[in-house]
Amino acid sequence: MSKQSKGSDKGHTDGHGHEHDPLEEGAALRVRALEEIVVAKGLVDPEALDSIVEYYERETGPRNGAAVVARAWSDPEFKNWLLQDGTAAINSMGFRGVQGEHIRVIENTDETHNVVVCTLCSCYPWPVLGLAPAWYKSPAYRSRVVREPRVVLEEFGFELPRGTQVRVWDSTAEVRYLILPVRPANTGDLSVEELAQLVTRNGMIGTAAV
Amino acid sequence: MDGIHDMGGKQGFGRIAVEEDYIFRSAWQRRAFALVEALAWSTPYNTDQHRHAVECVPPADYLRLDYFENWIVASEMLLKEAGLVDQSELDDGRKHFDVDQKSHAPVGVHEIVDATKAGADLRFPEDTQSARFAVGQSVLVSHTQAAGHTRVPRYLRGKTGRIVSDEGVFQFADAVVAGRGPDPQHCYTVVFSAQDLWGEEAQVGDSLCADLWEAYLEPA
């Protein structure tokens, strides 16, 4: 590996260092063992394993959520529908499926900024955001964002506008949450596609402004 | 259960690794995710049962192991409980006995993608259960700590909030995992003041919302 670890003596966060991580090696073996046993027993079709991950990578992800947000910014009628019945409005755009059966969209305003977490596990609206990033599932995010959301947002490099209140949404039951960010200023002449380019995954979780 | 998984408000976990923006970092994580999803069809276990099995991973392991390894440990537990796999097989990575394929048929490629795309509606018709609480009403979150699976975070127990919406009638995760059937009931979004939860360290006006099944709530 060409990367010499200057100032980074802990290999865990280095995406290229995993082959040398003994914990991961153990986990890889464990997964392979279980896979071989359940395939041998006929409990799982090995082809189905590939198709599941391909499905999530092909059909889900934050670009879906960004399309929803951009449309809401451009079409007041759609926005009303989205805020009233997020699931139906999102389904109408072809985004649906596991962990997206009951989606509620929460609108950020100048008065209130919203941020989403699942303190008990890692609930996340898969059809519109894809599978959750590692930090969203981490003990640090799950423990801290409910208690000190303002400090957490700072760690994400997000400066909350003065006078804005924070509301945290803990996904404790079956509803999954998508944040509708405030539309950035001076974007009046952008097309829906161009607007979608501005929207980030973190903006739709609430750990970024947009 | 009052487990390690119930992380809201715990302290000491340090800064958030915001740069860890990946979904999968290794091929085995990808495989682990797919395996857990695929096994849910043939085993069968549902999401609530798998979640509870993750909660039952011993606390030291839960914190030490990778997120997806915990998923695999949980699936191993459920497979052992169902008598489909035993520990000796897991120890040497080899099949030692056959299972009845008729009652545990593997799910095919197309079925699994179709089912994933369809999802599972966990709601029941609104009129099947009357609502005990109304929007605007103050409610107290029960102090009772269920020993099994529950979706009340510890930091909300004994706190008073206000109902902001009635999300409708849903199957009740606690009952599903306890083997008591769906026990459908209303689930409400309840708002709490941040200062009521965390004291004066929280800012006035900040708030937190959580979705709570009716069984967790009492009139305040």
Do residues B113 and B187 share a domain?
Answer: no
Task: With CB atoms and an 8 Å threshold, state whether A166 touches B10.
Answer: no
In a domain, B135, yes or no: yes
Q: How far apart are CA B79 and CA B87, in angstroms?
A: 10
Q: Each residue of B38-54: pLDDT tens digit?
A: 998 878 788 999 999 99
pLDDT at residue A1 is higher than 50: no
Q: Between A53, A59, A167, which is nearest B207 by CB? A: A167
A5 is catalytic: no
Do residues B81 and B134 share a domain?
Answer: no
pLDDT at residue B117 is higher than 70: yes
In a domain, B9, yes or no: no
Q: Å from B106 to nearest chain A CA?
A: 5
Give the model's confidence band at B217: pLDDT under 50 very low, under 70 low, under 90 confident, else very high. Answer: very high
Q: How far apart are CA A157 and CA A168, in angstroms?
A: 18
Percent above pLDDT 90 for chain B: 83
Per-chain mean pLDDT for chain A: 90
Sequence letter at residue A117: V
Q: How far apart are CA B215 and CA B220, in angstroms?
A: 14
Give the model's confidence band at A191: pLDDT under 50 very low, under 70 low, under 90 confident, else very high. Answer: very high
In a domain, B21, yes or no: no
Q: How far apart are CA A207 and CA A129, in angstroms?
A: 14
Determine the average pLDDT of the residues in B157-179. Answer: 97
Better-scored residue on pLDDT, A69 or A161: A69
**Rounded to an integer, what is the distance from CA A38 to the centroid of its chain?**
30
Determine the average pLDDT of the residues in A175-192. Answer: 97
Out of B63, B88, B118, pick the residue that ends a domain: B118
Out of B84, B118, B152, pick the residue that ends a domain: B118
Q: Each residue of A32-65: pLDDT tens digit?
A: 999 999 999 999 999 999 899 999 999 999 999 9
> pTM for the full model?
0.93
Give the model's confidence band at A2: pLDDT under 50 very low, under 70 low, under 90 confident, else very high. Answer: very low
Per-chain mean pLDDT for chain B: 94
Sequence letter at residue A174: E
**Rounded to an integer, what is the distance from CA B171 to the centroid of its chain?**
13
Say what the pLDDT of residue A4 is. Answer: 35
Q: How far apart are CA B9 and CA B56, in angstroms?
A: 20
How far CA B131 is from CA of A85, B127, B168, B209, in Å, comes to 20, 9, 9, 19
Query: What's the number of domains chain B is made of?
Result: 2
In a domain, B142, yes or no: yes
In a domain, B14, yes or no: no
Chain A interface, mutation test: which of B1, B28, B30, B78, most A Cβ atoms within 10 Å?
A: B28
Say what the pLDDT of residue A13 is. Answer: 41
B6 touching chain A per CB within 8 A: yes
Q: How far apart are CA A71 and CA B52, in angstroms?
A: 38
Contact A166, A149 (CB under 8 A): yes
Q: Each residue of A96-110: pLDDT tens digit?
A: 999 999 999 999 999
- φ, ψ of residue B107 in degrees (nearest 5): -90, 140
A118 is catalytic: yes
Q: Which two tokens stand for residue A198?
A: 């501005």
In a domain, B20, yes or no: no
Q: Residue A10: is it exposed, middle or buried by C-beta count within 10 angstroms (0-12/13-18/19+)? A: exposed
Say what the pLDDT of residue A109 is. Answer: 97
Structural domain harbouring B99 = 27-118
A92 is catalytic: no
Say what the pLDDT of residue B43 is. Answer: 82
CATH number of the domain at B48, please. 1.10.472.20
Say what the pLDDT of residue A15 is. Answer: 41
Chain B residues with CB inside 8 Å of A45's CB?
38, 106-109
Do residues B102 and B153 share a domain?
Answer: no
Catalytic residue (choose from A5, A51, A121, A143): A121
Query: Which of these, B73, B64, B99, lies nearest to B85 by C-alpha position?
Result: B99
Chain A residues with CB inside 8 Å of B186's CB?
none
Task: With CB atoms and an 8 Å threshold, state whether A55 touches B65.
Answer: no
CATH number of the domain at B164, please. 2.30.30.50
Tell me how many degrees the CA angle A102-A106-A112 measures, rounded to the nearest 5: 155
Say what the pLDDT of residue B147 is. Answer: 87
Those residues with Cβ within 8 angstroms of residue B171's Cβ, 6 or more apart along the chain or in another chain: B122, B124, B182, B183, B184
Do residues B150 and B105 share a domain?
Answer: no
Out of B74, B90, B118, pick the residue that ends a domain: B118
Say what the pLDDT of residue A24 is. Answer: 52
Query: Which of these, B104, B60, B52, B107, lies nearest to B78 by C-alpha position?
Result: B52
